[in-house]
Amino acid sequence: MGSGDNRLLGTWKLHSCTFVDAETGKQSNPLGVHPVGYLNYSSDGRMMVMTFADNRQAPIGPIPSDSETIALFKTMVGYAGTFIVEGDEVTHNVDASWNAAWTGTQQTRFYKLDGNILTLTTTPARSPLGAPIGVFTLSWERIK
């Protein structure tokens, strides 16, 4: 199925983000217990996502110092592009990203939709937040 007429369309608010280390099986919350984020799938086949850790420190002044910029960068993930839904998978074709290494890549997610709750699970990969190889599970609630 393409991106036009599907149940993922709309805006979703992040409720949780867990990571399971593939080697140890250890589970963690890399964005904290109360992460902030939004995901949007639109009927024109475009998607955007922004996620932020719950404990981000605001810069001291209006322009972050180099160390503040690094800390802010390490506590977020954001990208935009197109998407395609096939079966229980949604593939994000990344056109622009907070980390240029993701630009031009495909990010495949397995999804489960239960009412207004969308669960996205990544394929095993190295974490963009600096952790080892593992799987992220993100829970989103549809914004009405």
Does pLDDT of 85 surpass 90?
yes
Percent pLDDT > 90 in the chain is 87
| 3-state secondary structure (DSSP) of residue 52 | strand
Mean pLDDT of the chain: 92
Q: Global pTM?
A: 0.90
How confident is the model over 113-128, as a mean pLDDT? 91
- Cα pseudo-dihedral 127, 130, 134, 136, rounded to 10: -60
pLDDT, one tens digit per residue, over 56-84 is 999 999 999 999 999 999 999 999 999 99
Q: What is the per-residue pLDDT across 94-113, written as a single tens digit (0 to 9) for each?
A: 999 999 999 999 999 999 99
Residue 115's pLDDT is 94
What does the DSSP assignment read for 6-46? STT-EEEEEEEEEEEETTT--EE-TT-SS-EEEEEE-TTSE
Cβ proximity of 56 and 34 under 8 Å: no
Q: Which sequence spans correspond to the domains of the chain?
A: 10-142
Is residue 141 over pLDDT 80? Answer: yes
CATH 2.40.128.320 is right for the domain spanning 10-142: yes
Least confident of 27-31, 41-45, 109-113: 27-31
